[in-house]
Structure formats: structure tokens, C-alpha cells
Amino acid sequence: MKKALKITGISLLIILALLVASPFIFQSQIKEMVKRFINENLNAQVEFKDVDLSFIKSFPQAHVSIDDLAITNFEPFKGDTLVSAKSIAFTMSIKELFKKADESIIVNSINADNVLLNLKTNASGATNYDITKEKENASTETSSFAFDIQDYQIKNSTINYLSEESKILLKISEFNHEGKGTFSAEKSELETKSDAKISLTMDGSNYLNNNPIKLDALIDMDLNNSKYTFKENKGFINQLPIEFHGFVQLLETGQDVDITFENPESSFKNFLAVIPEAYSKNIENVETTGDFKVKGIIKGMVTDETIPTLDISIKSNNASFKYPSLPKSVQNIVIDTEIKNTTGKTEDTYVAINTLNFKIDQDVFKSSATIKNITGNMLVNADIDGVLNLANIAKVYPIDLKTQLSGILKAKVNTAFDMEAIEKNAYERIKNSGSMSLSNFKYASDGFKNPLLISNAGITFNPQTVSLNTFKAQTGKTDLNATGTIQNLLGFMFSNKTLQGNFNLTSNTFAVNDFMSDEPTPTENKTEGTKKSAAKKESLKIPAFLDCTINAQANTVIYDNLQLKNAKGALIIKDEQVQLQNFTTNIFDGQLALSGVVSTKTDTPTFNMDLGINAFDIAKSFQGMELFQNLAPLMKAIQGKLNTTLNLKGNLTDDFTPNLNSLSGDALAEILSSTVNPSNAEVLNKLGNSLNFIDFKKLNLNDLKTKFEFNNGKVSVKPFRIKYQDIDIEIAGSHGFDKTLVYSAVFNVPAKYLGTEVTNLIAKIDDASAKNITIPITANIGGTYTSPTIKTDLTSGVTNLTKQLVEIQKQKLLNQGKDKVSGMLGDLIAGNKAKKDSATTNQNNTVKEVLGGIVGGNKPTATTDSTKTNTTKDAVKNVLGGLLSGKKKQKDTVK
């Protein structure tokens, strides 16, 4: 007995070892089998990570799995992924592994996980899923695989279908499907369970958006006739149950479909079940009256040219509903909608909303519409007639509104159009009539700092345009009054076109800040990996859908801390930009003219403006505009009027004020009727202390013109001249928005300001040109606005004065020498040569004495020219040093 058990145990171990080891023996055979099947049957590039064989997972059957499968198309869809799957597994009898290469392998079950199937039809009608190879002798050849499936399963998969030709996008996500049956029998039953989420977009319009669907079906399979009949089944669209009956039969010419369906219950609660749960919320306790019935017939052939005929109706009569947590109910609900196709041609499918009526309190709202030729040039005809109190929406329906609505909407409108007419702006084919009004409307959102209150708005629908007859609104300090015309409202609503129009806008007060948002936006701290909330104004965004011209006029515009009076001009809004034309306004007791562009096309708003400034009050403009404080900081010390032409461009901050560090441009400024107050500018104070010959209070800047350029936070001022009494001053340099100064001022000072020493020195020369001598004194200005530094350069002044004195004396001596020569020639003719030689000697001595007295201040001595020049320079230095010592001299020194 022990021996028998031992033999049995050893045998079991051998069998187990064989079960574990055998897959390695057959691994290469399985890979070759899969590759052979792919190469024989598919026109596509197929890749997979590995093929695995196990005798343990599905014992006593073999388990074959393919990991990371990817099938990629050839032309004309080259590079597109048709199929990808994390894994696809097959089970089969172990004996199937021992079949020859030309024998079919029978597969019993299939399991697929994380499958992505992308089906596509391009604009020319070609499909990416037609990848099966055509075989010359298809009737006699057999496939490498045959199927005797008893169960199959697809988990967590996605199916995408895109038809560029029909402009249809269908997406089935989170798809789970399983089935059990016997596919080898001529007749058998297939039991299936499916659930997924479905989205459907047709011609840019979204009809289903991630709506959950579910179907449990028992299907009779007649494999000989390829006919599948629905027996017991129930599906769900959102929470609405639908039962199916009928069959689908596969024929050589297409598919024969004959299906009827309806909701088994007739309660109006089923209508709420159609609405996605995210919007309808919990409908279990909703009180309803009346009925709701969905039923339909789909019958006919599905071929390349035809679809089944359709007769689907959705009806409800005298229904109502009330959510238990809400105060009001919707009553007298009447729904009569049909979806029909009587010809089998796709273009003949139409939707008729014959009636869609309801009542809330005493307000009755009625509507109807027909939509034809859905897959082609869609034709729409709609009527709306009713009154709706917007505040009641949240009182009857549990919709999550970020903002509470209020106001009375009245509409009586008819519209008829085709989509092609809208796309091509063929207004003669668009028929609109009727009117719509909105009163006492209140809208509050994070996008508005204050609620928007529309007291009255009225529009009239014309065949080609929509007229805005009245629009009166207020938000914060801002009041608005507008009229105008809209040219393509339907194109904007149905075809993603821009909203075109021309408007006249007037306002008593328009505060730009009323249209800013103070909503906190989350910012992420990357170092800590946590999110923090910081209050930040969101930048105003110019809507991309606007293409309009606004002729605007406002008595007062409040922009930041500025108040603009009598503002008027044209605003052309297009492509996320506003172009200002002929915009003028009164500000700072003067007038401002503006033209240019503001753009929000990029994340950072930008602007490029030309400003014409006429007769600005300098003090007020300096105090009110940070821009002026940085462009011309010394204006703080000036009282008077300013004219300037200014071009500047750069970025805007979130509150639409210029970002100073991004500015660039140039300006030409002119100062009129001005006075100077040096105490308001520290740099003038320090200059006054360093130069005792000038009083900045008496500085006359009238008619001063100067040009400057700015870029990268730096202002460069071109050289300009001003005059203080008879002192010419030339100024040039630059300053930064960081308050730094780099300037030089050259003062051309007349000699008479240099005191009695220099005056007497010049008088001894006794020459008219000596009286016009000026000395250039350079002041180098550095530091900052609040802490400037002044350095005076005497070198050029000393050198210049010395050269002028020496040059004048040389010319005088030369002239005297000429006179002496003439006299000597006369004496020679007269025969008085000895007497003339004596006179010449005396004149030369006289010249030496005068020159020596001027340069040295004493009787001439035997010195060199170099010594005399140095002596002169020393004398000049002493005089100029006293002039720039910062101490006021005696009255005879400074005039």
C-alpha cells in the first residue's frame, strides 16, 4: 500500500512538473502560430510584447495570452493605432497544440482586457478597419483558427468611431461585456451583459455626453441563417429602462433589422430618468403626475446606401413633477416628439418636436420645432412663445448654478434656416421674425466684481439681422445704455461663428474696475508640493467670439485712480483685440487723444498706443499717473502746462495698467507757461547748493521742447537747451524706473558772474570781445531721485577761460605789432631810423608789461610763457573754485 501511494505521489509530481515545464516546450510553437495567423490574414503592422502559454491557469485546458498587443494601420491611415490591448487570452484543448500547421485550432473562450478600438472613416470614404487580406481561393482555404466559444469577456475597454465623411463621433468608454453560449451548435442561446458610457457628437453638436447605458439580453442564435433574435432583455439609458424585441439577420447584401422597443413603465418619472443623474440628482422621492412613453420601431436593411426606417415617439400629456426639497413644481407638461424616416435614406431622417409646453406658477412657455436632413444641410424651423421667470429655475429643478438668476424673459420668435446658409452668410435663406425681452435680470458670478443688473433689454428678429432696441444695465458704479444690430446671431449659436454687430454705447459713469474679478485662484508651491490660495485679480479677457464695432461715449470713465471726462471714440473688437479709433477725453485740465490696440491673444495682455496730450496740468498729471512719475521725475517740481506726443507699447498687468518694466517707446514733450519749485525735487536743491550763480526758482522753462526714448526700464533723454537769464544750459542723460540718475548739465556762464577779480582781469585787456567770454561748467548728476549726487567739473572751465584770455591778448598784440610796423616804415622813409628803433623798443616793453599785468597781476618779470600760462590758470582756478564752493559770495561777486 505504501509503495502504491509512493508511486502515485511520484506520478502526480511528474505530471505537475510536466504541466509547469511544457509551456516552455511549446512557447516557440505558439509564437510562430500567432505570427503565421497575423501574416496570413492582416494588412497591418502588428506588435506584441510576448505570448504566454500555461497549463495551470485554465486546467485541463491550455491558456494562451498575448500581452501588449498593438495593431497599426498602413496607408492611408499610416501610424494610426487601430487596436491596442493590455492582454488577450484564449483557452483551448491541449490537443490543439499538437495539430499540424495546416489544421485549424479550435478556440473555446476569449478574454480581453483594456482594449482600445479606433474605427475611422476618412472624408473620401476609406475605412481603417478594412485590413483583412483577400485570398485567391477563399472557398477552399481554411483559417488557422476556428471558434467553438462557450464564453467570452471584454473588460474596461474603449471603442471610438469617427466618420469624417458624416461628421459623426461616437465614443463608448468603460465598456464591459460578457457572453455565454454554444457557438458550435446550429441553434443556441447567448446570454450577455453589457454596461458602458456613451458620447455622441454629430456635426459639432453634442447629443450624448458620457451617458451610462446598460443591456442584459438573452439572444437566440441561428448560426446557419446568421439570425439573432432578442428574447428576454432590458436596457437602460441613464436610469430609463427600455425593453427590446425583434431580430437582426446578417445577409450578403447587408443586415436586416426588425426591432421594437419601449419603456415598460409609463410614469413621468421615467422622463427624469433620461436626464443624467449628475443633473437630475436623486429622483426616487420626486412627486410626479401624468405619463411618459417612449416607443419605437426600427425596420429595414442596413446597406451602404440605406438605413432602416424609423418610427420613434416620445410623448407625455398633462404631467408634472416636484422635488421634495424645492418650493415649486412644473405643471401642465406636454411633450410630443417624433423621430422618423419613411424612405430608408439617411438624409430623410427628421425630428419633429410638435409640442414642448410647461407651466411654472402663472407663466406658460410653449415651443415647437422641426429638424430635417440631419446628416446633410440640416433644416431648422422653430417657434417659441412664452414667459419664463428665471428665478424659478432653481426653485423647481435641482440644478447647480454657480450664480442665482432672476428676471423675466418674454419671447415670441419664429426662425427658419438651413445650416449651409448660416455657414455661407446667405441671409436671404434665413427667416427670422418676432421679439424677445428681458427685464429686471440679475446675474452674479466670480467674473464680475458686482452683480450685473439689466433693467430692460429688448431685441427684434428681422430676416437678416437682429436689432437691439434697448439695453439698460448697471454693475457697481457703471451704467450702460446700448442700441445696435447683430448680423449673425444664429451663426454664433449653431455654428461656432463670431458674433458680428455694430453698437452705440453710452454711459454716465463707466468704471473699468467693475469688470475685474477678485476671485482667489489656487497657486501651487512646487517646493512644498502643496496648494495655496492667493487672492489674485484675473485679467480681463477680450472674447474671441466678438467681431463688432462699438461707438462709445461716457461722461466719466474711472480707470484705476484716474477720472476721464467726456470720453468718446470707436472700439473695434475682433480676434481678441480692441482697436481704439478717434478716442478723446478730458483729463488733468487738458485733452487726451488715443489710438492703438489692446490685445489679450496671449496669456499676458499687451498694448501699443499713440497718445496726444494737449495742455495737461503738470502737477495733476504727475500726481495721478505713475507712468509720468517714471518717464519725467523732475516734473514734480514744475507747475504749468504740458503738450506731448507719446508712443508706447508693452505688457499690461492683471488690472490692465501698464507693466512699467515692459514699456518701450518715445515721446516729444513741450512745456508751456511754467514755474519751478526746487523744494519739490532734491536734485534741484543740491544743484542750487553747488552752483551759487543760479536761482532755480527763477528758471524759465516756457516753450521747452525735449525728446526722449525708453526701453527696458530706462529713459534716455536727448540733449536739449534751456536758458537762465543769459546763461545757456545744455542737459542730456538717462534715468531708470528704479530711480537711478545718470545726467550731465553744462552751464555756459558769462565772465561777469565770476566776480571782480576776473572782471578786472578782462578790463585790463581792454578788448570788446573779452566782454563776451563764457565759461562752461559741467555738473554730473548721479545717485537716485531721493538721494542725488552732484559733481562739478572745473577742468574744462579753467582751460577754456585761460585759452580765451590768452587768445584775445595775442590777437591784440598782433594788431598792435602791425600798427608799429606801419609806423616804422613811415619813419624809414622820413630818415628817422634811430628814433624809430627807440620807439619800437619802448612799445615792446609796454606790451610785455600789459600782458604780464593781465596774466600775473604784477609788473612783468623775466618768466617763460609756460610760467605765465600756469599763473593765469591758477588765478582762474581760484575764481571758479569760489564760484562753485557752495557759499554765496559778496554782492560784487555774483550778479
The residues with which 220 forms a beta bridge, in sequence order, are 189, 229
Asked whether the predicted pLDDT for residue 686 surpasses 90, the reply is no
Residue 158 sits in the same domain as residue 292: no
Residue with grid cell 485570398, as numbered in its chain? 135
**Residue 185, pLDDT score:** 65
Cell reading at 135: 485570398
Cell reading at 856: 600775473
As a whole number of angstroms, the distance between CA 271 and CA 265 comes to 11
**Residue 137, pLDDT score:** 53
Does 194 fall in a domain? no
Residue 120 sits in the same domain as residue 258: no
Q: Nearest Cα to 341, choosing from 380, 297, 304?
A: 297
Residue 59 sits in the same domain as residue 161: yes
pLDDT (tens digit, 9 = 90+) per residue, 233-286? Answer: 888 877 778 888 899 998 888 889 999 999 888 888 878 777 766 666 777 788
**Residue 512, pLDDT score:** 80
CA triplet 395, 397, 400: central angle to 5 degrees? 95
As a whole number of angstroms, the distance between CA 543 and CA 65 comes to 54
pLDDT (tens digit, 9 = 90+) per residue, 36-95? Answer: 666 666 777 777 777 777 665 666 677 778 888 888 888 888 888 888 888 888 887 766
Look at 97-111, 366-380, 608-622, 691-705 and tell me which has the smallest mean pLDDT.
Answer: 97-111
pLDDT band at 473 (very low <50, low <70, confident <90, very high): very high
Residue 156 sits in the same domain as residue 278: no
Q: Nearest Cα to 188, choosing from 155, 228, 158, 154?
A: 228
Residue 154 sits in the same domain as residue 264: no
**Residue 840, pLDDT score:** 38
As a whole number of angstroms, the distance between CA 858 and CA 853 comes to 5
Residue with grid cell 427667416, as numbered in its chain? 431
Residue 120 sits in the same domain as residue 251: no
Helix pair 795-830, 865-883: axis angle to 10 deg:
140
Strand boundaries in 393-477, DSSP class E:
406-418, 431-443, 452-461, 466-475
**Residue 387, pLDDT score:** 94
**Is residue 491 within 8 Å of residue 535, measured between CB atoms?**
no
DSSP string, 748-766: EEEGGGG-HHHHHHHHHH-
**Residue 769, pLDDT score:** 59
Look at 115-119, 153-157, 206-210 and tell me which has the smallest mean pLDDT.
Answer: 206-210
Cell reading at 515: 469688470
**CA distances to 181, 233, 243 from 191, in Å:** 7, 10, 15
Strands 379-389 and 406-418: antiparallel
**Is residue 320 within 8 Å of residue 288, measured between CB atoms?**
yes
The DSSP code for 267 is B
End-of-domain residue from the set 369, 401, 433: 401
Residue 263 sits in the same domain as residue 383: yes
Does 39 fall in a domain? yes
As a whole number of angstroms, the distance between CA 161 and CA 171 comes to 6
As a whole number of angstroms, the distance between CA 168 and CA 393 comes to 33
Residue 123 sits in the same domain as residue 263: no
As a whole number of angstroms, the distance between CA 64 and CA 54 comes to 7
**Residue 352, pLDDT score:** 95
Residue 397 sits in the same domain as residue 249: yes
Could you give the 3-state DSSP secondary structure of residue 331? strand
**Residue 446, pLDDT score:** 67
Cell reading at 47: 506588435
Give me the phi and psi of 158, to 5 degrees please.
-135, 135
Cell reading at 372: 430635417
Most confident range (mean pLDDT) of 183-197, 566-580, 808-822, 839-853 is 566-580
Does 742 fall in a domain? no
Most distant CA pair in the chain: distance in Å? 177
Of 565 and 231, the structure prediction assigns the larger pLDDT to: 565
Give me the percent of the chain exceeding a pLDDT of 90.
18
Residue 270 sits in the same domain as residue 159: no
Of 427 and 246, the structure prediction assigns the larger pLDDT to: 246
**H or E element, residue 821:** helix 795-830
pLDDT band at 412 (very low <50, low <70, confident <90, very high): very high
pLDDT (tens digit, 9 = 90+) per residue, 492-541? Answer: 776 677 888 999 999 999 888 777 655 544 444 434 444 444 444 555 67
Does 829 fall in a domain? yes
**Residue 585, pLDDT score:** 92
Helices and strands in the chain, H and E counts: 13, 40
Cell reading at 19: 504541466
Residue 161 sits in the same domain as residue 250: no
Q: Number of structural domains, the chain?
A: 3
CA triplet 531, 534, 536: central angle to 5 degrees? 135
**Is residue 212 within 8 Å of residue 197, measured between CB atoms?**
yes
Does 446 fall in a domain? no
Give me the phi and psi of 514, to 5 degrees please.
-65, -20
Look at 386-390, 540-544, 568-572 and tell me which has the smallest mean pLDDT.
Answer: 540-544
Does 173 fall in a domain? no
Does 445 fall in a domain? no
pLDDT (tens digit, 9 = 90+) per residue, 392-403? Answer: 988 998 877 777
Residue with grid cell 501699443, as numbered in its chain? 608
As a whole number of angstroms, the distance between CA 649 and CA 765 comes to 59
What range defines the domain where residue 253 resides?
Answer: 238-401
End-of-domain residue from the set 386, 401, 416: 401
**Residue 439, pLDDT score:** 94
Does 799 fall in a domain? yes
pLDDT (tens digit, 9 = 90+) per residue, 126-161? Answer: 888 777 766 555 444 444 555 566 788 889 999 998
As a whole number of angstroms, the distance between CA 154 and CA 392 comes to 46
Of 221 and 414, the structure prediction assigns the larger pLDDT to: 414
Residue 161 sits in the same domain as residue 245: no
Could you give the 3-state DSSP secondary structure of residue 721? strand
